[in-house]
Each structure stands twice: as C-alpha cells, then as structure tokens.
Amino acid sequence: MELQANITSLAYLVAAVLFILALRGLSSPETSRTGNFMGMLGMAIAVGTTILSPEITSYGWILGAVFVGGAAGLIIASRIAMTAMPQLVAAFHSLVGLAAVLVAGAAYLNPGSFGLADAAGQIYIASRVEMALGAMIGAITFSGSVIAFAKLQGLVSGKPVTFAGQHMLNALLGLGAVALVVYFCLDQSPEVFWGLVALAFVLGFLIIIPIGGADMPVVVSMLNSYSGWAAAGIGFTLHNNALIVTGALVGSSGAILSYIMCKGMNRSFFNVILGGFGGDSTAASASGGEDDRPVKQGSAEDAAFIMKNAGSVIIVPGYGMAVAQAQHALREMCDELKKAGVKVSYAIHPVAGRMPGHMNVLLAEANVPYDEVFELEDINSEFQQADVAFVIGANDVTNPAAKTDPTSPIFGMPILDVEKAKTVLFVKRGMAAGYAGVQNELFFKDNTMMLFGDAKKMVETVTRSF
C-alpha cells in the first residue's frame, strides 16, 4: 500500500513538472508545439494515475465519462474554426467551473465518502472553507463564461450592459458571498451552502455582462484564471495533489496574463474584477454610428502597385483576417513582396482578435517566420519609417481615437501607430464600426486608402496583380 502511494505521488510529481514545462513551451511560438505535447502527456499521466488508484473499485461510470468526453472533445476540436476558438475556450471554462460546483456539491451531500467529516457527520472546518471557496469560484466561472460565450458568439450584444449602481451592487454581492463562506464555516446547513452557490452564479453574470467587446480578450484570460483557482479549491477537497498543482498553475498564469494584457491596454486590473469594464455603451453606440465623411477608396491593383514599389511594408492582422481565413493568402502575398526586395514585418497588438495570442496562432498556422512577427512595443516606432501599413481586419487596435478622444470607450488604450506610415491600406468589408462599437478615425485620414471586400479574396487579387 505504501509502495502504491509512493508511485502515485511520483507520477503526480512528473505530471506537475510536465505542466510547468508546457507553460514554458507555450511562452514562445517556436516551442509551442512542444509545450502542447508536454501538457497533453502530463494530463495523460495525471488522469491515468488517478484512474488506477486502488481507491477506485468501479470503472463503469468513469470509463463511460471518459469515452463521452473524449469523443465530444475530438469532434469539436476537428470541426471548430479558428474564428470560433475564443468562444470555445469560454465554453470550456464554463465546464471547468460547473465541474467544481458539482464536485463541491457531491462532497457536501456525502462528506463521509470523501473523508471530510467526523463520526457525527460534521464536516471539518478546513474542508468547509475549501468546499465553499471551490463552489463559489466555480459558480462565478460558470455563469461568467456562459455570458462571455454568448457575447463572443453574437447571441447577445457585445456592447457593455450597464445600469446605475452597478459597481455598488457587485460589491455588495461580493461581500455577501464572502459572508456566506464565513457563515458556512459555522453552520453547514443546506440553505447556506446552496444560497452561496446561487449568489455566486448571479455574481458571475453581473461581473461579465457590463464588459465591452474590445476588452473580451482580457475576460477570456481572467476566466481562465478563475477556472484554475476553482480546480485548485476542489483539489484540496478531494485531497488530489495533481489537481491542486494544475489548478494553481492555471490560476496564477491566467492572472499574470490578465495583468499583462490590462497593462498593455492601459486599463486597471481591478476594473476587470469589479465589472463595468469597456466604456459607456451610449458613447460607443454614438461614435460607432453611420458616418457620411468621404474616404479614399482603392482597388487591389492600386494596392499591388503601391506595395511593390515600397521599401518596407508592415502587416497588421486582426479579427477580420481570422473571419476570412486569409492568413495563408496573406503569407503568399508577403512571399511575393519579399521576392521583389520589399522588407515585410507583422505587427501584433496584445488584444488583436478575441483571445490572447489569436493572431500569433493564425500566423503560425500559415508558417509565417517567427522572426518577422513583432509585438506592439517592439514595432510601434517603425511605422513612421514604413512606406506602407497593410491593415487586414484590425479595427479597434488601430483607432487613433484611443489617443485623441477622451470620450471614446477605448481612450487610453495603446494602439498600433499605423497612421504614421506613408500610406495605410485598410482591408475591410465596409464602414461598420469595430467590436467595441467605435468608428475608426483612421478611415478618414488623408494617407489611408480603403480596400473594400472579403479579406481573403482581396489579398489573393492583390497577389495576382503583382
């Protein structure tokens, strides 16, 4: 028995090391595939070790759940488009949160089976704390992730939904949830436990509903952190070291990523936690309405002539590229430019797309060389020397209103300084505002030429025009 326990601990340790190496690998596009493999291997070891535990006496439900979950994951992963990846991640976060709530509920209803109660059936105080925190964070993660999924999927408006006294209500509900956690430590009655779960579900809904579309990448990262802490809390309840370590890694890395992204957007991390993050919906709607100002419109042939006679071109990809699946056509266009002696670089904003790293993944999928891809702080100073900035579907992250209009919902957010290039070629289907609901002032600049049409078809036509 002792030997079995030692083997289990060693296997969990190996899995934990692999998870850490996975995070290390995922920090760079060059090592991301290796990082993914290490994460998968670590999870396989952790799950396999748990299933082979001598404490498990029946495998029917477990194998059935593994089969159903594995089949569902395989089908979803094979069919999902890259444009739908952000909402898929949000949906998976909701499942992690719901799992935490269900495990906490099972442990509460039958604490003896989990070794959490004394002979009289009273749950240990430490176990009550772990159970309550795991259930509360899990419920917030579930309902918040469902709202994030609905916003990303377009089932509800991506604009902020705000009302008077919202911050005060969120603060009161948060304090109420903490009070119920404390009260549950004193009284383990069902009313207190399930009341805490219900309040946490409502709190998750209210935290995410006021967040605007432009800030959705931060929300996805934040919910990722929440799901990790929920898993860690339940790991303590189940006395499962692998779950504790995995949850802590996910929770801390998600929190750090959220902080980095907030810093990159010049936002306050605490505004994300409290909700109401994303600006005033009225202002966004007004600034994103119809605009009858004239714009300079060009053709694919015009764009081809300008770029082939340029010395340097900076490509700025955004969600529009993802929607059109234009990354492969874009790489082919850039290959032709490089053959003509044009210097080509790619500029990535921290929140381009709708989840962290969205554009990096798409460009890596198209085999774009990693040394040509630069983050905002590394390339922003290059725009004023660039002959052409080729913007393909990136709207809010190139909007000069973020620097010039204090009433704009995105004011203060660092942007890519594309307007400083000699010529800006902007590929877009029409004049509609970006996901934040804000009209892009870049459209009306004298050095901007609009290329209206599907991004993939436009890029392919430009390439043929060379």
pLDDT in tens, 359-402: 888 888 888 988 899 988 899 999 999 999 999 988 888 999 88
181-191 exposure pattern, b = at least 16 Cβ within 10 A, e = fewer: bebbbeebeee
- The closest alpha carbon to 453, from 411, 381, 392, belongs to 392
pLDDT of 435 > 70? The answer is: no
166 has a pLDDT exceeding 50: yes
Which range has the worst mean pLDDT, 70-79, 349-358, 456-465?
Answer: 349-358
Residue 81 phi, psi (nearest 5):
-90, 155
- Residue, of 322 and 380, whose pLDDT is higher: 380
- Mind listing the pLDDT tens digit for each residue in 190-225? 999 999 999 999 999 888 888 766 667 778 888 888
Residue 274: pLDDT band (50, 70, 90) is low
pLDDT at position 285: 43
Has residue 270 got a pLDDT over 90?
no
% of the chain beyond a pLDDT of 70: 90
Q: How far is CA 171 from CA 147, 168, 175, 430, 464, in A?
A: 19, 5, 6, 41, 58
- Number of H helices and E strands in the chain, helices first, is 18, 6
What global pTM score does this model have?
0.74
What does the block give as tokens for 333? 């266009």
Work out the average pLDDT over 439-458.
Answer: 92
In this structure, what token pair is assigned to residue 338?
Answer: 């490089």
Query: Is pLDDT of 327 > 80?
Result: yes
Poorest-pLDDT segment among 11-25, 163-177, 282-296: 282-296
Q: What integer pLDDT is reported at residue 265 of this predicted model?
A: 67
Looking at per-residue pLDDT, the higher value among 239 and 182 belongs to: 182
Q: Which residues contact 102 (CB under 8 A, 6 or more apart)?
A: none
pLDDT at residue 283 in the model: 44
Active site residues: 396
pLDDT digits (tens, 9 = 90+) for 336-367: 999 999 999 999 988 787 777 788 888 888 88
Return the higher-pLDDT residue of 180 and 258. Answer: 180
Q: Which pLDDT does position 310 carry in this prediction? A: 94
Whole-number Å distance between alpha carbons of 413 and 216: 14
Structure tokens belonging to residue 306: 């300008």
How far apart, in whole angstroms, are the C-alpha atoms of residue 42 and residue 244?
14
Provide the pLDDT for residue 76: 87
Q: How confident is the model at residue 154 (pLDDT cuts 50, 70, 90)?
A: confident
Q: Is the pLDDT assigned to residue 273 strictly greater than 80?
A: no
Contact 418, 390 (CB under 8 A): no
Residue 284's pLDDT band (cuts 50, 70, 90)? very low
Query: 313 - beta bridge partners?
Result: 344, 388
Q: Find the angle CA(138)-CA(141)-CA(143) to the nearest 5 degrees.
A: 110
Query: Percent of the chain, pLDDT > 90?
Result: 38
Mean pLDDT calculated for residue range 408-421: 86
Could you tell me if 353 and 359 are in contact, meaning their C-beta atoms sit under 8 angstroms apart?
yes
